[in-house]
Amino acid sequence: MHMSDGLLNAPVSVAFLVIAAVGVGFALVKARADLDDRTAPMAGLVATFIFAVQMINFPILPGASGHLLGGALAAILVGPYVGALCVTIVLVVQALLFADGGLTALGANVTNMALIGTATGFVVAVALRRLAERGKGGLAAVAFVSAFVNTVVAATGFVVEYAIGGAGGVEIGKVALLMWGLHALIGIGEGLITAATVTSVAAIRPDLVYLLRGSRKPLEVRS
């Protein structure tokens, strides 16, 4: 979901660079409280894993694919602030090293995938935390739902940005319909990957799953 330069006009691109900078700055300040000798290496690995999995485009329709965004995955494993930083690092490396995602578009891309995606995934996951604490099935369901919602809402970020200042003057309803339809399908893939990843981590190191921190009883998924 990395947009190229030129899809949004210059003022809107700059506005979202500012929004992204403020959001990432806020995350940098708040992330400190969630990082210690144990969680800092985990956060680095979560960023690395998201980069790797984003390379794997999976088919959704003939002629269309999708890839993980990673917001909910990061939020569930390392929390919303560290998670937003994880996705941001991935997007910056992709834009600078691999020419994937424009430079003036970086603000909008960070806003959609790192800020909106992670925040949405986290809010949904926290709302369903009781279910996640019930066991492996519950955790998988919560991961799936929060990842699905994170994908569709992040896609909505582009729709809103295009409505404010998109190039070409295409009818916004058409853009919205395509974005939502395609990302509902991509969201299923995002949900499956997120559920598989989160339950795998929880099976080996439940203490490293941010969402399960402070659970009254440790999750029994070891079997």
Q: Is 18 in the site for other proteins (CB under 8 A)?
A: no
Candidates 60-68, 123-131, 138-146, 213-221 — which segment interacts with other proteins by CB under 8 A?
A: 60-68
- Count the residues of the shown chain that bind other proteins, applying the rule CB under 8 A: 71
Tell which one of 20, 43, 73, 212 touches other proteins (CB under 8 A): 43
Q: Which residue reads 């990842």 in tokens?
A: 147
Residue 175 interacts with other proteins (CB under 8 A): yes or no: yes
Of 13, 20, 216, 5, the C-alpha closest to 113 is 20
Q: How far is the CB of 131 from other proteins (least distance, A)?
A: 25
- Residue from 139, 147, 179, 209 touching other proteins (CB under 8 A): that is 179
Least distance to other proteins from the beta carbon of 127, Å? 25
When the beta carbons of 48 and 130 are compared against other proteins, the nearer one is 48
Residue from 14, 34, 54, 44 nearest 194 by CA: 54
Which residues, 6 or more positions from 157, have their beta carbon under 8 angstroms from its beta carbon?
108, 111, 112, 116
Q: Do residues 95 and 144 make contact, with C-beta atoms less than 8 angstroms apart?
A: no
| Residue of 19, 35, 188, 196 interacting with other proteins (CB under 8 A) | 35
Q: Give the separation between CA 118 and CA 76, rounded to whole angstroms.
A: 9
Residues 187-206 that bind other proteins (CB under 8 A): 204-205
Asked whether the CA dihedral 51, 57, 58, 64 is positive or negative, the reply is positive
User: Distance (Å, rounded) from C-alpha 213 to C-alpha 183?
Assistant: 30
CB-based contact 138:60 (threshold 8 Å): no
Binding of other proteins by 156 (CB under 8 A): no
**Under 8 Å between Cβ of 82 and 118:** no
- Cβ at position 195, least distance to other proteins in Å: 16
Interaction between residue 55 and other proteins (CB under 8 A):
yes
* Beta carbon nearer to other proteins, 127 or 167: 167
Pick out residues in 81-120 that bind other proteins (CB under 8 A): 82, 85-86, 89-90, 93-94, 96-100, 102-103
